[in-house]
């Protein structure tokens, strides 16, 4: 059944293979409507975004919650030759896989004409995680648990650790909600 209630729906997307999707909506306040871990398929050539399942997520949002007003996706870049102790080098294969996932999601949003913006992590973190010291994955999870007591950030019922891709996706949607971003209509991608 098609959702007939007029509500604002903004989605956040952490586009990596370990990323997530979150729908935020409401008629006046921002409620976390639903979250998904990024759908992935694996075959003999490796892992990639499951485009059918991603399309189904967009359809579920439209049918159950309403028209997507804006998708806020993390604008990220691969760095095959750079690395730190906490973030080792990606390598050329990792960079290729990461880029494939990133551009698959961008292409799906464009294909389904979803209004969208691409926001660097530093931008959304400095705007959403105000007051958080490190603005890292742990701060993101703590921020959401404080803001939405009882929120379920687990990827599956069997998970024991909060899924940071889902947490990032929720924060990206919060950023979009708060900032009233103007979607990109016809930017060359």
Q: Could you report the average pLDDT of every consecutive run of 10 residues in the chain (189 residues)? A: 71 95 84 95 90 96 93 80 47 60 92 95 95 93 93 93 96 91 50
Contact, 129 vs 135, CB < 8 A?
yes
- pLDDT value at position 188? 40
CA distances (Å), 127 to each of 11, 18, 102, 161, in order?
17, 23, 23, 25
In 3D space, the residue among 63, 26, 17 whose CA is nearest the CA of residue 155 turns out to be 17
- pTM given for the model: 0.84
- pLDDT value at position 30? 79
């Amino acid at each position: 059944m098609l959702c007939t209630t007029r509500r604002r729906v903004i989605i956040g997307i952490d586009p990596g293979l370990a990323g997530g999707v979150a729908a935020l909506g409401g008629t006046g306040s921002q409620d976390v409507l639903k979250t998904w871990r990024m759908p992935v398929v694996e075959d003999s050539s490796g892992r990639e975004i499951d485009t059918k399942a991603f399309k189904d997520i967009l359809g579920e949002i439209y049918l159950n919650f309403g028209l997507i007003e804006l998708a806020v996706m993390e604008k990220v870049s691969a760095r095959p030759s750079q690395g730190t102790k906490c973030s080792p080098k990606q390598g050329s294969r990792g960079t290729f896989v990461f880029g494939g996932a990133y551009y698959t999601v961008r292409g799906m949003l464009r294909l389904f004409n979803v209004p969208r913006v691409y926001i660097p992590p530093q931008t959304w973190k400095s705007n959403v995680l105000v007051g958080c010291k490190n603005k890292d994955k742990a701060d993101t999870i703590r921020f959401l648990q404080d803001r939405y007591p009882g929120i379920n950030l687990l990827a599956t019922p069997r998970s024991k650790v909060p899924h940071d891709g889902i947490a990032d996706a929720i924060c990206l949607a919060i950023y979009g909600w708060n900032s009233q971003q103007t979607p990109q209509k016809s930017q060359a991608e």
